[in-house]
Structure 1
């Protein structure tokens, strides 16, 4: 399959026009590769380590969730990560494409995959956008489990480096309705409360957002940005393999930028 056809297939599923105004979805670097047969390296974040992996793998497309460029750069200088990524992309004829907030909304996108991993029943968007799509997912879990068991399931299935949990949470409290949103989801706390969810799995939550959740009787669970979004990248690789591309793989140089000391 040519890269142009691959992108058409993807954008029929997750249109970049759906991305938020602050976002930058779609082509980040397109060095004239649209008619080439697709060799795709999928990653969460496009970094120099991922670029080196793409070069070594003879990939011609880095398909990333996070954009390489969020805001228009004012300059490109050697030694700066974005400038070096762009230089290497043109030098080695490797495109960089991003699917961010458009990918967050769709079926089998970041939130939907989290809901599937936790086996949520009757999952619907926390904030609907269009045609049954939207940000986050909320659903029920059967049979009902304790918070302690839910945290064990999250540890087992997402393998986060660490879990942050509301300090007043009762580990024996029974949980039946859960909300999930991959990546930075603290701004959706008010919307989650309205869904009637007892627990909310997301990431990048601050001190006062844990306070807000506690005060609103919502158990906030922060599993980290990487652990909550990386599974959707893996699912994307599985979907791309059905397209019979020349080559597609999930990056093993993707990084979780948070480290926890014992």
Structure 2
């Protein structure tokens, strides 16, 4: 089955909703045309000319990247300059580029969840909240003998999560009535005859960001030609949305031992660290990318150690003065999300197109 770019974009936007991005972030389709047939998808942290060559070699005409190709307004596209040469190559070979940046940072199972998971942090929560997830109530009426199938389909689509409990619903039996008129093809009953059917009213909670995919799953699993359902907003508080994660290690460990754990978990050649290596740490805050300006958020969250990239000298001094240890694994550590994005896209697209994790190392730094 052919997959168009618009379908790929819908999958990405469901996973990392654009609404999660900070204002003026350069996300979305930056190069290309959404109605092209997808021949393959290359997922990468950065788009470099070597990454473009890799996409061409693999026959992938879509690149999904975390960092934008076009961040500042273009004044020119000069093909004798690196950026212009790369853009011209992409256009010449029909390469489309889609960016998920701060929306992927904040997304469930995005950059910061992957970084926290790699460290085996427990009881994680958002480090820097900036909003709440909007919730809706879905109510649908289904014949009794199709109730279990529909309930399962809704749960698998992501509806019914309350805390750490999935498939949460409330179900009330009743009687539904309908009269099929001319031109109908009823699953139950006959044209022109009033039907009374034992049905179940199924209610569940749906995050607004996945409302469309849940409704699609409901319609696909429901036996009726015309499905009776309602969707309405809820005033209850959804979970926090935001950047970074803070959690706890299973047991306190020395800062030096934890630094070795970070180095191994993040596949690093080396890292920078501040503080007494013998001191015990347990509460950990992590923020992928460049997060030095948020060190006081980590301190207020009760973190013993803060992991983020691009820490400058004065930020390190200030954090140390406030009793907060800092570990800088580099900005490129965000590349660890690439494999997760590939897994998500393969699942959502049902392996209809090849999905590749880029093998090009785009980290400009080396340890010498």
Q: TM-score, normalised by structure 1?
A: 0.94
Asked if 2 retains the 8 angstrom alpha-carbon contact of 1:201 and 1:223, the reply is yes
SS in 2 for 1:23: coil
Residues in 1 aligned to 2:20 and 2:73: alpha-carbon distance in whole angstroms: 20
Deviations 1:179-227 (A, max 9, x none): 0011101011111111010000111000001001101100000001112
Match of 1:136 in 2: 244
Match of 1:239 in 2: 344
Asked if residue 188 in structure 1 is aligned to residue 294 in structure 2, the reply is: yes
SS in 2 for 1:125: strand
Change (3 A) 1:46 1:123: same
Q: Count residues with an aligned counterpart.
A: 257
Match of 2:367 in 1: 260
Residues in 2 aligned to 1:133 and 1:41: alpha-carbon distance in whole angstroms: 28
Match of 2:262 in 1: 154
Residues in 2 aligned to 1:33 and 1:125: alpha-carbon distance in whole angstroms: 33
Between 3-12 and 114-123, the greater mean CA deviation after superposition: 3-12
Asked if 2 retains the 8 angstrom alpha-carbon contact of 1:33 and 1:60, the reply is no
SS in 2 for 1:144: strand
Structure having the higher Rg: 2
Superposition pairs for residues 16-55 of structure 1, below 5 Å? 16-30=18-32, 32=33, 34-55=35-56
SS in 2 for 1:79: coil
Change (3 A) 1:33 1:26: closer
Match of 1:210 in 2: 316
**Aligned-pair distance for 1:128?**
0.9
Residues in 2 aligned to 1:24 and 1:231: alpha-carbon distance in whole angstroms: 21
SS in 2 for 1:254: coil
Deviations 1:35-93 (A, max 9, x none): 40351000000010000111111101010000001111111101222212221122111
Structure 1 gaps of 5+ residues are none
**Aligned-pair distance for 1:247?**
0.6
Asked if 1 retains the 8 angstrom alpha-carbon contact of 2:11 and 2:345, the reply is no
Asked if 1 retains the 8 angstrom alpha-carbon contact of 2:17 and 2:107, the reply is no
Asked if 2 retains the 8 angstrom alpha-carbon contact of 1:135 and 1:181, the reply is yes
Change (3 A) 1:37 1:73: closer
SS in 1 for 2:249: strand
Match of 2:103 in 1: 102
**Aligned-pair distance for 1:22?**
4.1
Residues in 1 aligned to 2:76 and 2:356: alpha-carbon distance in whole angstroms: 32
Residues in 2 aligned to 1:29 and 1:16: alpha-carbon distance in whole angstroms: 17
Q: Alpha carbon RMSD of aligned pairs, Å?
A: 1.4
**Aligned-pair distance for 1:33?**
5.1
Residues in 1 aligned to 2:29 and 2:18: alpha-carbon distance in whole angstroms: 10
Asked if residue 251 in structure 1 is aligned to residue 253 in structure 2, the reply is: no
Match of 1:201 in 2: 307
Between 184-193 and 33-42, the greater mean CA deviation after superposition: 33-42
